Chain A
Amino acid sequence: MNSSSRARDLKLISCHACGLVLDNREELSHARCTRCDEHVYTRKPNSLTRSWAYLIAATILYIPANLLPIMLTTKMYNTLSSTIVSGVIDLWQDGAWDLAIIVFTASVVVPILKLGLMSFLLISTQRRSTWRQRERTKLYRIIEHIGHWSMLDVFVVALLITLVHFNKLALVQAGPGIVAFAAVVVLTMLSSMSFDPRLIWDTDEPKPHTPPDNGQTNG
């Protein structure tokens, strides 16, 4: 098909909230949707800068999320601390390999994939790469849909500390790592929500619609 018909060139905007297509021949910068009153933009404002900011914050917090214990288990005066990764290893050694794979996917693979793929999408988009745009857009859709599954461990910790509190006999307590981990998941979700996939296709544009990518705007 002829790829010449892009909404921005035709001066059309679709409302991201209700899907209505609006005529933007006047090129208003603060247009609102006539049906649902939401602000409409040709591109999400400051998409790349905001997406980077959340992603960098998530990457920094990913370190304490993995180094600090997420759970402290006390059995007969014996306290064991476990991190995200050691929890998966324990499951595997206990013979629950199926469960180990689920937790490994949600808690290790998905966060790393999100951090890595978001950086890749942001860098390739900034460089106006025309390499495999269709696949990169698909990648974005996948990232958007799998992100929240990483909250699995957060719910598991909340349930275990509630169920296992038998004084000295057996006690499970939460560790600070789980707070950092929850923050990583929230921040990567915000990062992918801020990213505008239409920018992947804005490769031939003379002047950028987003501010310079180093985050500095002329003031």
Chain B
Amino acid sequence: MHSRLNPANLVICEYCDAVYSRTPLKRREKAHCLQCGGELYRNAHVDIDVMLALTIASAILFVIANCYPIVELNMSGLSNRATLWDTLLFTLDSNVGVIAVFAAASAFFFPLIQILLFAYVLIPLRVGRKPRAFIGAMHALREMQPWSMVEVFMLGAVVSVIKLTAVAAVAPQIGLWGFATLTLLLTVLSSFDLHELWDQSEALDA
């Protein structure tokens, strides 16, 4: 029979329920499940400085990406340019308004809230304190993750630009580069394992 192990030293594969005892990993190492190949955990120390730097950079780029037009279109002397919000408001007024609600959530509100929550969680952790609403903020971050789609919007903007070059003069604007960079930053930021932030916050309680 198994002797009772200390649960704090265990990790359970979320894909197949296999139980392992944790071993320390080197930097950039990942532990994978032997049974199903799923990722168990990464090197135990998330670098809060790096995450915070990425969060601040994302916040700046989020403002740039949203304040400047993404594309400008010229046709027979007329021109139209669109920011993300122009797109959302125009779509809301169209016959498919429900699409605008979805697009606003996945390309604007969820990424914005993610950036703000990361700042809310990371700044106190950086100075060795645990924010008051840590639990709620961490749950919100986890639940929003799959519905935040800046990268898909970004690819959609590129596809639109190329589609339009066939019929009109299209000029990509600062907003497009803003979104491209924001996509990169958010991809790196969300690749950090939130489980490790939980572990670090617990160390503060002790």
User: Which A residues lie at the B interface, using CB under 8 A?
Assistant: 1, 3, 5-8, 10, 12-14, 16-23, 35-38, 75, 91, 94, 96, 99, 102-103, 106, 133-134, 137-138, 140-141, 148-149, 151-166, 169-170, 173-176, 178-179, 182, 186, 189, 193, 197-198, 200-201
> Do A157 and B16 contact each other (CB < 8 Å), given the known contacts A148-B152, A193-B146?
no
Q: Once the chains bind, are B139 and A7 in contact (CB under 8 Å)?
A: no
The residue of chain A having its C-beta at the shortest distance from the C-beta of B95 within the complex is A174
Could you tell me the distance in whole angstroms from the C-beta of A210 to the nearest C-beta in chain B? 14
28 residue pairs from A and B, CB less than 8 Å apart: A5-B2, A5-B18, A7-B17, A12-B12, A14-B12, A16-B14, A20-B198, A21-B8, A21-B11, A35-B198, A36-B198, A102-B155, A134-B36, A134-B37, A137-B15, A141-B15, A148-B146, A152-B156, A154-B99, A155-B153, A155-B157, A156-B163, A165-B80, A170-B75, A174-B99, A182-B99, A182-B102, A189-B146
Q: Given A19-B195, A162-B82, verify A3-B15 contact (CB < 8 Å).
A: no
Would B11 and A14 count as touching, CB distance under 8 A? yes
Cross-chain contact B11 with A99 (CB below 8 angstroms): no
Known: A22-B7, A36-B135, A103-B159. A179 touches B99 (CB 8 A): yes
List the B side residues contacting A23 at CB < 8 Å.
7
Question: CA A198 – CA B139 in complex, angstroms?
Answer: 22
Q: What is the CB-to-nearest-CB distance from A142 to chain B, in angstroms, rounded to a whole number?
A: 12
B94 close to A161 (CB less than 8 A): yes
B164 to chain A, nearest CB (A): 7
Query: Given the known A-B contacts A152-B155, A158-B91, A201-B16, are A10 and B2 also in contact in the complex, defined by CB atoms under 8 Å?
Result: yes
Q: Does B67 contact A (CB under 8 A)?
A: no
Expressed in whole angstroms, the minimum distance between the Cβ of B62 and any Cβ of chain A is: 17
Give the CA-CA distance A189 to B145 in the complex, in Å.
Answer: 12
The 5 A-B pairs at the shortest CB distance, nearest first, are namely A155-B156, A19-B195, A14-B12, A18-B198, A21-B7
Query: Do A154 and B166 form a contact, CB below 8 Å, given A19-B11, A169-B76?
Result: no
C-beta contact mask, B164-202 vs A, less than 8 Å → 1, else 0? 101110000000000000000000000000110011001
